[in-house]
Amino acid sequence: MAEVEKPVKKYSLFSLARNALSFHQNWEKAWRSPEPKKHYNAIIIGGGGHGLATAYYLAKEHGLTNIAVIEKGWLGGGNTGRNTTIIRSNYLWDESAAIYDKALQLYEGLSQDLNYNIMLSQRGVLNLAHNLHDVRELKRRVHAIRLNGIDSEYLSPAQIKEMIPIIDISPSIRYPVMGASLQRRGGVARHDAVAWGFARAADARGVDIIQQCEVTGILREGGRVTGVETTRGTIHAPKVGIVTAGHTSVLAAMAGIRLPITSYPLQAMVTEPVKPILNSVVMSNAVHCYVSQSDKGELVLGAGIDGYNSYTQRGSLHIVEEQLAAVCMLFPIFSRLRIMRKWGGIVDTCPDASPIISKTPVEGLYINGGWGTGGFKATPGSGWAFAHTMARDEPHALNAPYALDRFTSGALIAEHGAAAVAH
């Protein structure tokens, strides 16, 4: 495979020291801001993590470098920059375990691969059980994940307490903690850095990242895609990938495709920063809470989805209140900390809570979307598999189960229970 290599100013402590001598005046741009060309070999619509990862792996793994990522706003500005940064691969079904663990494996070497520190912090992810049903379901997952060759443990309340001394495991709380699954390889990463790292590495391989350029139409001729109309003119390409979380249906509709996706607001928030107090990621489906502490010291908290369809990137107050009541139940010491900032994103959800990474009825047009509330953790795996699909015009075994036709065949991958967010 021919790789277009271009000199990259490598990031390192050495380069940092050398640049310090010149007051950091000589750093190269992390990525260019090129004008769109008239023609590319492939276009990726959407400059979020998944789109940028797709471009990177198209260039790196498939030698396809005359490609453009077209972004309506600023790269990484959608759900990539709005999530709670949790990474894990503790999924029930084989199909899910395979692609999410591929993503986790790629994450484990991503800082070095991209030469951009994404601050992957494998501090362990716990999913709590609060009733007998939860216990049964979590154990089912723990066993399935283990037999899929992925690290997975079940913890008793005492073991949970040992790992997280500040959690309240007393039987007297409204929904006592009865156990937890633990994936030690799970954790968090710096979400912006994932987008920026992929952008920089893709740019270095020749990919044009075109921001502030909105796609307004998808051009087709005789059942195959020929390019896109944008606010900065027509751009032609024989292959177009739609990777526009939050607006997947909108873009698909431009090509006459109706997707079984509904879009909801999902909120997240951070507290004021405090010295380290919580080392692991704690998630609870039953009482709806997920929380971790960032390297800056903020508690990063996620709420549930709002129960209505929306494209506004903000949600309702009561959803936040329910979530924070759950946090106060599990961590009564957090009651006096304060929320510093909260925000919303739009999540595209499929009926089976699993994504679409697929060819479409339009030849040369591909869709990667429908990741619901949990796309961030899949970013590199998703991009890797989607790049394969776009380059070869056939899905990789990893994403073959995520084809659009599963909604007609019925071969669904029901992962409702996998998200901490109740659908």
Residue 400 near another protein by CB under 8 A: no
Cβ of residue 332: shortest distance to another protein, in angstroms? 4
Site for another protein in 158-187 (CB under 8 A): 166, 168, 173-175
Specify the residue, 63 or 170, whose C-beta has the smaller distance to another protein: 170
Residue 27 near another protein by CB under 8 A: yes
Site for another protein in 31-60 (CB under 8 A): 31-33
Residue 23 near another protein by CB under 8 A: yes
Contacts of 102 (CB under 8 A, 6+ apart): 380, 381, 384, 385, 398
- Taking CB under 8 A as the binding criterion, the range among 62-70, 145-153, 226-234, 373-381 that sits at the site for another protein is 145-153
Site for another protein in 360-379 (CB under 8 A): none
Site for another protein in 106-135 (CB under 8 A): 109, 111-112, 115-117, 119-122, 130-133, 135
Cα separation values, 22 from 16, 17, 27, 269, 307, Å: 10, 9, 10, 38, 53
Residue 156 near another protein by CB under 8 A: no
Contacts of 1 (CB under 8 A, 6+ apart): 61, 62, 63
Name the burial class of residue 379, with classes exposed (0-12), middle (13-18) and buried (19+) by CB atoms within 10 angstroms of its CB: buried
Specify the residue, 183 or 365, whose C-beta has the smaller distance to another protein: 183
Amino acid symbol at 101: D
Pick the binder of another protein from 30, 219, 250, 400 (CB under 8 A): 30
Task: Supply 237's token pair.
Answer: 């390409």
φ, ψ (nearest 5 deg) of residue 360: -130, 175
Specify the residue, 144 or 252, whose C-beta has the smaller distance to another protein: 144
Site for another protein in 204-243 (CB under 8 A): 211
Cβ of residue 197: shortest distance to another protein, in angstroms? 8
Q: What's the half-sphere exposure (Cβ side, CA atoms, 13 Å) at 139?
A: 9
Specify the residue, 218 or 330, whose C-beta has the smaller distance to another protein: 330
Pick the binder of another protein from 3, 6, 8, 16 (CB under 8 A): 16
Specify the residue, 168 or 229, whose C-beta has the smaller distance to another protein: 168
Residue 335 near another protein by CB under 8 A: yes
Are 68 and 207 in contact by the 8 Å Cβ rule? The answer is yes
Residue 2 near another protein by CB under 8 A: no
* Cross-strand partners of 224: 221, 363
Q: At what angle do helices 379-392 and 94-108 cross, to 10 degrees?
A: 100
Specify the residue, 337 or 400, whose C-beta has the smaller distance to another protein: 337
Cβ of residue 239: shortest distance to another protein, in angstroms? 26
- Total residues interacting with another protein, rule: CB under 8 A: 110
Site for another protein in 378-397 (CB under 8 A): none
Sign of the CA dihedral running 73, 75, 80, 81? negative
Task: Supply 330's token pair.
Answer: 């599990």
Report residue 302 CA to chain centroid gap: 14
Pick the binder of another protein from 163, 219, 339, 400 (CB under 8 A): 339
Pick the binder of another protein from 4, 147, 397, 422 (CB under 8 A): 147
Name the burial class of residue 174, with classes exposed (0-12), middle (13-18) and buried (19+) by CB atoms within 10 angstroms of its CB: exposed
Cβ of residue 30: shortest distance to another protein, in angstroms? 5
Secondary structure of 216-254 in HEC code, one letter for each residue = EEEEEECCEEEEEEECCEEEECCCEEECCCCCHHHHHHH
Q: At what angle do helices 191-204 and 379-392 cross, to 10 degrees?
A: 30
Site for another protein in 188-207 (CB under 8 A): 190, 192-193, 196-197
**Residue with token string 């979590």:** 138
Specify the residue, 244 or 323, whose C-beta has the smaller distance to another protein: 323
Cβ of residue 169: shortest distance to another protein, in angstroms? 13
Q: What's the half-sphere exposure (Cβ side, CA atoms, 13 Å) at 407?
A: 17
DSSP β-ladder status, 262-271 and 224-230: unpaired
Pick the binder of another protein from 5, 17, 158, 258 (CB under 8 A): 17
- Taking CB under 8 A as the binding criterion, the range among 36-44, 74-82, 223-231, 237-245 that sits at the site for another protein is 74-82
Site for another protein in 89-108 (CB under 8 A): 94
Pick the binder of another protein from 125, 326, 347, 398 (CB under 8 A): 326
Site for another protein in 254-313 (CB under 8 A): 271-277, 287, 293, 295-297, 312
Cα separation values, 308 from 33, 129, 244, 265, 286, Å: 37, 27, 20, 8, 21
